[in-house]
Structures are given as structure tokens and as C-alpha cells.
Structure 1
């Protein structure tokens, strides 16, 4: 089994709850409140652990909320390394309105991170020997847009595989200045990267171009209810979403990426990992609030998705076995 390290530079304590109706001004009484350690890399480590893998997570955290964040990870049995920062870890808050089924998500920017704190992370990444390093989530205030590119070059120099799931300038800069093994943007993030609206064929073409120029070995673009696209040197594969009852969209992209990395770390081929990612994304939206996917749901949906008719899969630009 390959070693996996996940990285979260801007984690958050995710608080989720429910209420019947959301109204302005009045106090909104909520129920079913839960606290989860959140952030892209944190969620990836949690899902990989739930699937039966063993991922270590590296994250920045500070203040009394940083201590709470670390304790939440300890309760879940996640192997971790916390880099202390001077400023306080953020809290995000999600409320599900039962009357409509709508979700309201409040996500603060987060703490400012200082250069010396980021340099500590760079040093730890450079000394780490994990086979996969997964950098997932937004950059905190104070972090330069090339921070992931520097990490990717460091990991590649020792023969590791760097995986990226981020957005905005950090995404574009990393693909311009380094080579990654796998990049996983959402369709919206991908359009922002390319600089315009894209139809499905244009998404496939743009993903193929990123592979062709050597910026990424694999490009997986998630498209919500429309499924996902995987581009590699062999071609482009599009798979539809597995339709389930949606309870919350929180964590679907993280679950998709987690399942892919877990499968790849087991030595499974990229196409099989991609199919497992589709199943994990569907399993995640079945769960309420900030809950992530359950192992039994992932593998049940994976088996169902693998049995889909061949005509529901679209192949472009090559033969993917």
C-alpha cells in the first residue's frame, strides 16, 4: 500500500445544523448540531481512512480553535501533524432549511498565515517520503499563489506524486510552474482556469491540452449531476453521475478525490479509480450536513455503476481499457 500525505493550509471547524425555516432578524433555533474537522485535505484523509486506507494529514491551525480542531481529528483516529500558527483557525457554518431542503453555507476567509509558518510546511513536505501528497483546499490569506507549485516541484524531485485540488490563482500558477500527477477541478473552477464558459466538448479538449503539454498526467473534472471527465495520455473518458437522493452537496468533490487516491494507492488503474470516485461523490451527497461518504455506500454504488450499460459511457481520443 502506497503512503499518502494530505495537506490543508486553510482548515475549518465545520458546524452543521438544521432548522425548519430561515428568516432574517429573528433568532433561528437549530437542532442536530455536529462539529467536524474540515478542509479539503482533512476531508480526503478522513474518507481514505473510512475506506480502509491509512493517510496522514498535515495542516495549519492556531488558537483555542486550533486545539479543538486537533482534538476532533484525534477522536477520529486520524494520523496528523499540526503546524501551529499565530492566528486563530476559522469556523464555517452550514444550516439546512427543512421546509425547502435548501442549504445555507457561511465560510469565512480564515486566518492570515505568515511566511515562516508556510516555510515550515515546505520543509516538512521536502522531508516527507509519502508516495502521494494531496494538496486540497483554498489558500489562506498571506500565502503566495506559487506555494503549491513549490511543493509540487519538491515532491516530483524525489519521485513522489503530487495531487492538486484547489481554485483561482493557485490552480493556474501551479499548472504553469510545475507538473502534477492529478489535478481535480470542478467544472466552475475549470472554466475560471480557462477563462470562459465551456460546453462539455470544450471541457474535454481543454483537459486533454493540459495533459498534452505536460502540466498534469491526469485531469479529472467533476460536473455535479452531469458526471465527470477524466483525461490522460490514452484519451478522455466521460462517465455520468450515479443518481441518488441528494441530502447535501457538502464534501462530494473531496469524497470523489479521496476514493480516486485510495484506489490509485492500491495499485488500481486510473479508470477504475475514476469509477470509484464517481461512486464516492454520489455516496457523499446522500449524507446530511457535513457528514462525508460511508464506506458501504461507496462500494455498493461502485458495483452498481460498474454494471451500467456501455452505451452510457462516452470515449474520446483513444481507447481506455
Structure 2
């Protein structure tokens, strides 16, 4: 090989080496520059902070001091986490995706406003419609007939009073008249003693029985409606002359529950017997021919 040929070959090899170096530098320049995450440094700092909390506990520090130290540790952890996430390209890319999703979601949620605006527009149109006055209307207004309802006078309240006191309040000055239950009562000389005896007996009655006795006195005195249960029982007694507890219970059960029918039938047997409208023998009432109230109430039936 000649000298000139060897020289040319050497120059060619040097040129190839230079081109290879240039390619490497271009690749390195294009590669993204990344900063290594300092995970080891963060771990060492966390260990130091936690050791500080342990020392406070061993030294018998107050809870407030330990809690304050813990807050510092949590703050430092938050700072380290934000720094790690900020240096992670994958996290940055995901953040952009999340932001795009939120924008799309806001656009979807904003669309129904069109429907709402249409509804509001229809409401305004309906409100603007003119309502004809009486003069403009082709039809003459029809006057509604006045209806007056006359309610029975209930008198003063009796809340908190005993059964006998309630009867005295409701009957007022009429107590002497309505305490005459049988014809023989009209011949009694000591009417005050009879009334006091009856009032004393009223206080001994069961609560619900006493309420129905008061209701009957109110009906006789001021026209207050009778209890529906009382009305049914009296109607049966006046029609048949007798009334058994079984018959009354079966009658109630046509409209009411078995428990209600049983309780009400028991109460009404006592009410009718106490008011001397019927005489109770066993479980059967017989219409009392001497009853003053039976004559008054039977006339209404």
C-alpha cells in the first residue's frame, strides 16, 4: 500500500469517528432532562421528625406539645409529597387529563339551562294573560247562597277537672233538672243530697264511662251530639226493650274492630244502667219504664 493511500484511509477513519461523536451529542441534547427524586433524603427527614415525637413522649411531654410536633411532621410530609408529585411527569400529564374532563363535565351540566329558561318563559306568558273582569265577562256571575251552620254550644272547658266537677260546670243552673233520672226523684225532699250522692257516684265510674255520662248530660242540656256508640245502643234498646252485651258487641263489629266493639259494648252497658235508662241484670239491659231520660231520648230517636 502506498503512503498516499494510507493517509487517505486514516483521514477517512477520523471523519467517521467525528460523525459518530456528533450523533451521540444530538441524541443527548434531544433527551428530556430529569431530576432524580430524592426519596432517600425524604425518608431520612421523616425518620428524624418521628424520632423527635418519640423523644417527647418518653420525656413525659404534655399532650399539647406532642400534638404540635405531630402537626409539624404532617406539614413537612405534605411539602415532600407535593415536591415529589411536581417532579413526576406522569402526574403532570394526568392532571391535564383531569382538567379536560372537568371542562367537559361543566359543559354537559350547563346544557339543561335551556329547558329551565323555556319553563320560565311559559310562566311569564301565563302570568301576562288578562283575566276578564265581571263587566267584561259575557256571563253573569252566579251568587253563592249563604249557608249558616249552627253549632251546639259546648260551654266552658273542663280540662283538669274531676268527672263530677265537669258535670256541674256543663250543667250549670240546670243541674237540678237533669239529675232527675227516674220519676221517684221528683218526690225527693233533699234534692241537694241526691245530687251530691249522684256526683259522688260519677267520680267512681271508669274514665271512659264517665266521659259518656258527661256527653249524655251535655246532649240533654245544650244539644251536643251523642256519642255514635251511645246512639246505636239506645236505638237498639228502645226498639227491642232489651239489650244484651253480646248483641251490642256484634252490632258494633259490623263497622268497627273486634277490640273496639268489645270495649264500647262494655262501657255502654254501664252508662245506660247508671243513667237509669235501663236496668242491668247479668249481661242484659231491660228498658226502665220509670226512666225520665228514656222518655226524652226515645222521642228523638
TM-score range, shorter-chain basis?
Answer: under 0.3
TM-score, normalised to structure 1, is 0.20
Structure richer in helix, relative to its length: 2
Higher strand share: 1
Q: Which of structures 1 and 2 has the larger relative contact order (alpha carbons within 8 angstroms, sep 6+)?
A: 1
